[in-house]
């Protein structure tokens, strides 16, 4: 088993900002280069136990530039949601996709942004990592994902 400290570290190429989810959680959008040389947009939740402690990276996912731009457009369109239901989805591969759904949490309509996976094309989908976001914050997060994805596309094309 590989220890976490033995894994290659990411190099932050550019920080596109953060959106506060609540007092102890935020979502950050970064363009990173991993230890294997792959450049991706990282969309991760970050959390802290109290206001004066260090922020710790939580759940999230990494996307290619074009996937980040597409997801950004879907999330930004979430502001138009007026009822529960699917806002959009993004197929990453035959076995991975990201779904954006509007749902009620504590009486407020929010966006759920989650990665779904399956072992193969014949198996059922399983909900994996992700987060919820207030509708009012969806345009800002969408913009950051579009800009981050555009950065990668322009650098790699």
List the one residue out of 84, 70, 65 whose CA is nearest residue 153: 65
What does the pLDDT read at residue 31? 94
Neighbours of 117 (CB within 10 A): 15
21 Cβ neighbours under 8 A, 6+ residues apart: 27, 45, 131, 132, 133, 134
Q: For every one of its 157 residues, what pLDDT tens digit does the chain have, with 9 covering 90 and above?
A: 444 454 457 888 999 999 998 888 999 999 999 888 889 999 999 999 887 888 888 888 899 999 999 999 999 999 898 899 999 999 999 999 999 999 999 999 999 999 999 999 899 999 998 899 999 999 999 999 999 999 888 765 4
Beta bridge partners of 32: 12, 40
At what angle are helices 138-156 and 65-77 packed, to 10 degrees?
A: 160
What does the pLDDT read at residue 118? 95
What does the pLDDT read at residue 141? 94
- Give the phi and the psi of residue 121 in degrees, each rounded to 5: -70, -15
The full set of domain ranges for the chain reads: 4-156
**Kind plus residue range of the DSSP H or E element containing 68:** helix 65-77
pTM of the prediction? 0.86
List the one residue out of 93, 89, 68, 77 whose CA is nearest residue 14: 68
CATH number listed for the domain at residues 4-156 = 3.30.2450.30
Neighbours of 17 (CB within 10 A): 15
List the one residue out of 56, 60, 49, 111 whose CA is nearest residue 82: 111
């Amino acid at each position: 088993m590989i220890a976490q400290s033995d894994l290659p570290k990411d190099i932050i190429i550019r920080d596109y900002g953060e959106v506060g989810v609540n007092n102890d959680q935020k979502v950050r959008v970064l363009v990173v280069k991993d230890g294997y040389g792959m450049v991706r947009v990282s969309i991760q939740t970050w959390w802290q136990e109290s206001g004066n402690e260090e922020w710790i990276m939580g759940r999230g996912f990494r996307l290619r530039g074009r996937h980040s731009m597409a997801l950004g457009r879907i999330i930004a369109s979430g502001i138009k949601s007026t009822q529960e239901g699917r806002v959009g989805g993004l197929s990453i591969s035959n076995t991975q996709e990201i779904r954006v759904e509007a749902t009620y949490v504590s009486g407020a309509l929010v966006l759920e942004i989650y990665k779904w996976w399956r072992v193969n094309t014949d198996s059922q989908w399983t909900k994996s990592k992700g987060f919820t976001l207030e509708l009012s914050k969806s345009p800002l997060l969408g913009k950051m994902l579009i800009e981050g994805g555009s950065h990668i596309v322009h650098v790699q094309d």
